Structure 1
């Protein structure tokens, strides 16, 4: 079984899955207000894998929250041309009393998908993340890496479920440092698995990380944000056959410049 879009390689009907134009975000009021984002512009094409990179506190997670609709920008525009975005966080955040399969099935159940259809879809997604044999296990019976696979399957269940007008819109998956709490070996395995799953589904991905190597390994495009307040300062395309070692060095150098200039301000 596989979980794919009907035609993930077809030319999308829209030019972007999400577009942010001149987005500002402030928290608080008056002298105590904190400006998290200041004039951020970002386009993500349907099916594109974009990594947001930057120092801690630069607004990366704020960008995801705004795209997901969990918060509203103070100013600027966010145009969403995707189905409802699905979000995957650093912690798996699974329901401990539900089995792995029931956790994956939950967003489909909430969306009103029929029992038979969601059981079929859940089985496909667990197979896609290589957990076909553990659907009856609860989170405490799974390793950290396996729990993140379940969380990925659950996010895909939400991102790839489309109906009505949204059926023709591209899928969008938002990921906030989902592998940072895992050991190095498990992280490497799940990075490779994520690339495989992304290619299988055709979903657009916005992936937040502070790890330059992870960004270069995963992303088709790496977007560097300035230190707070966040705005895009530079982007790099990561094509097939790219010299990843050289690109990591280049981005690390630029990141250090951004952090140094902020500290000196």
Structure 2
């Protein structure tokens, strides 16, 4: 299931200036002999406004990390600190409310946050313009293409990052939001996401299994081991030239193959 939601997650009293801090995070599903350790000692810091891509093989715990940051689940051990109380989550599909217009979908988190109608309509119009959908506010989801629906979902996610707390850092969590789209549309929306991120400045944690997507989008790529998930390698990929980017992609692919091979041999 894919949707975009705004969540109330209490910021830790020990939170630092980082947008997100994970310290020794562990997650175990089940009990006794059937217990499965999904994450074991994950340490990760995401700075305000930083774009971090979380990469790994299927089943390595990428989505589990995202769910824990969002407050959709609780860690078995370790600590998670946020400097925002309203992270927004965008999953693989738009999952827009079919009875609402594009504007109505973008307004929804604002309405739930208690924003008055004139202000939320103005904000929704601004966000739709930001994602280049200024002329479709009165359209319903079935009248939009898949790429356009994802743009509406992105606008709704950005609306969800509104936080009344002074000094709070907006945080956008994205779980493979473009994986269901065709290659051309995915490429276009990757570029659009970067443009919108630069214009709005939230911290982003972007989960993907696509190495090229991770290197293209992120300022930093973080690789998780296969289950149990741990951070095994990080790459600074901000501002790479074409040659450097190709070299890093090869390096990440090689390290990812090692991770998968070591897990298969275990």
Question: TM-score, normalising length from structure 2?
Answer: 0.92
Q: Which residue of 2 aligns with 1:251?
A: 252
Q: CA deviation at 1:14?
A: 5.4
Q: CA deviation at 1:241?
A: 3.2
Distance 1:135 1:34 in 2: 45
Secondary structure of the residue aligned to 2:166 is: helix
Q: Which residue of 1 aligns with 2:56?
A: 54
Q: Which residue of 1 aligns with 2:110?
A: 108
Instruction: Map 1:1-265 to 2 at 5 A.
Output: 15-159=17-161, 161-163=162-164, 166-242=165-241, 243-265=244-266
Q: Which residue of 1 aligns with 2:6?
A: none
Q: Which moved more, 1:239-248 or 1:181-190?
A: 239-248
The alignment of Structure 1 onto Structure 2 pairs a total of residues equal to 250
Secondary structure of the residue aligned to 1:168 is: coil
Secondary structure of the residue aligned to 1:223 is: strand
Cα displacement string for residues 13-67 of structure 1 (whole angstroms, at most 9, x for unaligned residues): 9530010000000111111111110000000000000000000000000001000
Gaps of 5+ in 2: 1-14
Cα displacement string for residues 105-148 of structure 1 (whole angstroms, at most 9, x for unaligned residues): 00000000011100100000000000000011111110000000
Q: Is the 8 A contact 2:98 2:141 kept in 1?
A: yes
Give the RMSD, CA atoms, in angstroms: 1.1
Q: CA deviation at 1:168?
A: 1.1
Gaps of 5+ in 1: 1-12
Deviating beyond 3 angstroms after TM superposition, the runs of 4 or more aligned structure 1 residues are none
Q: Which residue of 2 aligns with 1:3?
A: none
Distance 2:149 2:157 in 1: 12
Question: TM-score, normalising length from structure 1?
Answer: 0.93
Distance 2:237 2:46 in 1: 15
Q: Is the 8 A contact 1:83 1:167 kept in 2?
A: no
